[in-house]
Structure 1
Amino acid sequence: MNSRISNILNRTKGDRWIWLIVILLSMISLLAVYSSTGTLAYKRGVGAESILMKHLAMIVGGIALMYISHKLDYRYYAGISKVLMIATIPLLLYTLVFGSHVNDASRWIAIPGTGLSFQTSDLAKLALITYLARTLSRKQENIKDVKQSFIPIMGSVCVVFILIALANLSTALMLFGVSILLLIIGRISIKQIAVVCLAGAVLLAGVVFLGPRRTTYISRIHTFMHPEKVSSDKSFQSDHSKIAIATGGILGKGPGNSTERNFLPDSFSDEIYAIIVEEYGLIGGFALVGIYLFLLYRCIKIVTKAPKAFGALLAAGLSFSLTIQAFANMAVAVGLGPVTGVPLPLVSMGGTSILFTSVAFGIILSVSRDIEEPKKIIVGEITEVA
């Protein structure tokens, strides 16, 4: 048994702490999803164990994809990024027109023959971040050239932003923020970044006040800014999320003892952090925050040690995307932001979103592996000389 475990460990490369974080978040996810899907199981007429097994299958599939992604040299993702960007734009357009409508939003498209569906915004995040990392690293010599560098970069950011924002504003805003961070790291001039931000602000205003979901967006902002002036129906989700956190106390009610899971509409997804705090208390809530902060710390170490600009930008973009999404989800749960449809990475029950998140972790580990392997070669050479 020990030899099998050591065999598996020897086959995995990259930052061991990130592997540990992924396993830890997966275990937390299994406990939280099993506890929060009782009502969902009742509505579907199945046992909670059935939903848990499907979720477990997704986690196992995600870890398998992460393993495959981390074994592939990260430099190959530069070429893959072009293909992803070419596929992403028509897929986002197709989703807006023909995608499945849930809560007045068209975000999902079905995968033929599988019975599964996925959010094209998950693919768009990977595509845009890898494409920006590739473009910024290859255009460093003429990074301030408007035609060769700035227009392609600005165009890709703004097009992806508007296509996602029409159906999923929160994800679009987070991706736009990550893109700006990458532009700063990639030495784009302040004036050009200001132009991108101005263009983003204009597009944002158009989506909020003229887009197909303008009523929903304005209502959510108004509910967040003036909760005392809206009906209890509109603030139902945020109110019960706060009740879950408030009644959790310091130590929580214990695993499986949540009561708010029966009231929160997305207790297994968007509001899973509130259920975790209710059952495991402030200690559990702060522990989860600490895990994501430690993840960011390990990723920043990878970024600073990466020998190539593409690897550094790639790891930075993906790690910022994952941690910003995590803290956005937790901020909404504790009432620091308006209600959004953002899941907690690797914790929420999210189907194919877990797979895309796992691929992102795999790419980060691939960059980390490239940092470690040269060290092993040098150590080997020194040993042979001795």
Structure 2
Amino acid sequence: MVSRAQRTPFAVWWWTVDRLMLGALGALMLAGIILLLAASSPVATKLGLDPFHFVNRQIFYLIPAIAILLGTSLLSPRQIRRLALVVFAISMVLLAATLVFGTEIKGARRWIVLLGVNIQPSEFVKPAFVILIAWLFGESARKPEMPANIFALLLFGSVVTLLMMQPDFGQTMLIAMVWGALFFMSGMRVIWVGGLAGAALLGLGAAYYAVPHVARRLNRFMDPSSGDTFQIDNAVESFVRGGWLGQGPGEGTVKRILPDSHADFIFAVAAEEFGIVLCLIVVGLFAFIVIRALTRALRAEDPFSRYAASGLAILFGAQSAINMSVNLHLIPAKGMTLPFISYGGSSLLSLAYGMGMVLALTRERPQAEQFGRRGGAVPAARAA
């Protein structure tokens, strides 16, 4: 046991970090390995790979992901801002380079190969973007004269433009949701609400008429008879076949017929083999992490920490909800991983970075450290 009286860096971290949230994240990582063992073998065999190829790769990425999660949770808010600026700048450069040098898969350029490793830059843009937006809105709360809304809009526009050029509408929608949520939390004016809602509708309409891929997915969702719904139909059927307790490990059939059963549709594999009970446990873990993060974020005195932790929690929760909703055919299909469970190195490392920042921002700190002041001085407005 670590004593509270110890003042070592590890002891200070251990008694200030949210250990329950840390445990829930560890449970999701463990669940991801177990579900990959169940879901990935048929996919690997079809591709002529070792049956445990995807499991081994996931464990390979999981080791640095845990290091990133724990290392990031040690950072101060000031260090988080500085690191996010570096990560965002590098990711934006890679995002632009992907449009030219990236590998085209299914009509989109989202991946770039660096030193023999496939990287999806958009995954790393997301958490860094949330931090920078939170910093802008936090500064606006402390300095109303600062034109943070304009800067936030320009930053949002630059990210969305690059994502739409790939195109990647799933990530675009996710970033737009988080940006809008933080904008709302910062106290936007009514005129901004109408303007943003109108812009969102215009953007959706333009995407529908200008991009055939988007139109086909929306049409299939509204009218299944208008196109091929093979993957969605089988994913939904797997929940019926699995029942409450599932058919048992290795007894499922959906993983043998879906090409993305180890990634986008791993939740359907979990439902068929382990049952709805396990799915509800997974949903409960996601809900616990999001609610826990939002609750602790609300206690933060520093506006930046409050907005940043909330934004990252919303990002995590929204991505989880989108993936599970697609598996249940509640929303149109989108290529988005289930956090810490689906296969994917870029996704795993990015999520570890984002949730490590959540753990760091929600640690119990003195006010002076929250505000990033030297000498431990608390702002006069807070001390009064």
* TM-score of the alignment, normalized to the shorter chain, above 0.5: yes
Q: What is the match of residue 181 of structure 2?
A: 181
Task: Confirm or deny: 8 A CA contact 1:170 1:341 kept in the other structure.
Answer: yes
The Cα of 1:41 is off from its aligned counterpart by: 2.0
| Structure 2 Cα separation of the partners of residues 142 and 196 of structure 1 | 23
The residue type paired with residue 32 of structure 2 is S
TM-score, normalization by structure 2? 0.88
The Cα of 1:46 is off from its aligned counterpart by: 3.2
Q: What is the match of residue 226 of structure 1?
A: 223
Q: Percent identity?
A: 24
Specify whether residues 299 and 106 from structure 1 end up closer, same or farther in structure 2 by C-alpha distance, changes over 3 A only.
same
Q: After alignment, is 21-30 or 154-163 more displaced?
A: 154-163
Specify whether residues 198 and 39 from structure 1 end up closer, same or farther in structure 2 by C-alpha distance, changes over 3 A only.
same
Q: What is the match of residue 154 of structure 1?
A: 153
- 5+ residue gaps in structure 1? 376-386
Structure 1 position 126 matched with structure 2 position 143: no
Task: Confirm or deny: 8 A CA contact 1:158 1:200 kept in the other structure.
Answer: no
| Structure 2 Cα separation of the partners of residues 135 and 272 of structure 1 | 37
Q: What is the match of residue 269 of structure 2?
A: 275
Q: What is the match of residue 311 of structure 2?
A: 317
Q: Which aligned pairs between 1:323-334 and structure 2 lie closer than 5 A?
A: 323-334=317-328
The residue type paired with residue 220 of structure 2 is T
The Cα of 1:141 is off from its aligned counterpart by: 4.6
Residue deviations 1:134-173 (CA, integer Å, cap 9, x gap)? 111112255476xx22221111112212321341101111
2:283 aligned to which of 286, 289, 301: 289
Residue deviations 1:285-329 (CA, integer Å, cap 9, x gap)? 111111111111110121111121111111001000001100110
Q: What is the match of residue 207 of structure 2?
A: 207
The Cα of 1:353 is off from its aligned counterpart by: 1.0
Task: Confirm or deny: 8 A CA contact 2:235 2:328 kept in the other structure.
Answer: yes
Q: What is the match of residue 89 of structure 2?
A: 86
Q: Which aligned pairs between 1:301-380 and structure 2 lie closer than 5 A?
A: 301-371=295-365
What's the secondary structure of 2:363's corresponding residue?
helix
| Structure 2 Cα separation of the partners of residues 68 and 331 of structure 1 | 32
Specify whether residues 206 and 83 from structure 1 end up closer, same or farther in structure 2 by C-alpha distance, changes over 3 A only.
farther
Residue deviations 1:315-367 (CA, integer Å, cap 9, x gap)? 00100000110011000001101111010000101112100100111000101
| Structure 1 Cα separation of the partners of residues 103 and 365 of structure 2 | 42
| Structure 2 Cα separation of the partners of residues 8 and 272 of structure 1 | 38
The Cα of 1:74 is off from its aligned counterpart by: 2.3
Q: What is the match of residue 107 of structure 2?
A: 104
The residue type paired with residue 77 of structure 1 is I
| Structure 2 Cα separation of the partners of residues 348 and 144 of structure 1 | 44
Residue deviations 1:159-216 (CA, integer Å, cap 9, x gap)? 2123213411011111101101101111222322433343343344333322xxx111
Task: Confirm or deny: 8 A CA contact 2:301 2:367 kept in the other structure.
Answer: no
| Structure 2 Cα separation of the partners of residues 84 and 196 of structure 1 | 27
Structure 1 position 249 matched with structure 2 position 246: no
| Structure 1 Cα separation of the partners of residues 40 and 321 of structure 2 | 23
The residue type paired with residue 132 of structure 2 is Y
| Structure 1 Cα separation of the partners of residues 243 and 233 of structure 2 | 17
Task: Confirm or deny: 8 A CA contact 2:40 2:52 kept in the other structure.
Answer: no
What's the secondary structure of 1:117's corresponding residue?
strand
Specify whether residues 245 and 295 from structure 1 end up closer, same or farther in structure 2 by C-alpha distance, changes over 3 A only.
same
Q: CA RMSD in A?
A: 2.4
Task: Confirm or deny: 8 A CA contact 1:142 1:149 kept in the other structure.
Answer: no
- 5+ residue gaps in structure 2? 3-7, 370-384
Q: What is the match of residue 382 of structure 2?
A: none
| Structure 1 Cα separation of the partners of residues 37 and 204 of structure 2 | 37
| Structure 2 Cα separation of the partners of residues 73 and 141 of structure 1 | 19
Q: What is the match of residue 379 of structure 2?
A: none
Specify whether residues 9 and 330 from structure 1 end up closer, same or farther in structure 2 by C-alpha distance, changes over 3 A only.
farther
TM-score, normalization by structure 1? 0.87
The residue type paired with residue 176 of structure 2 is F
| Structure 2 Cα separation of the partners of residues 191 and 144 of structure 1 | 19
Q: What is the match of residue 55 of structure 1?
A: 58
The Cα of 1:104 is off from its aligned counterpart by: 1.3
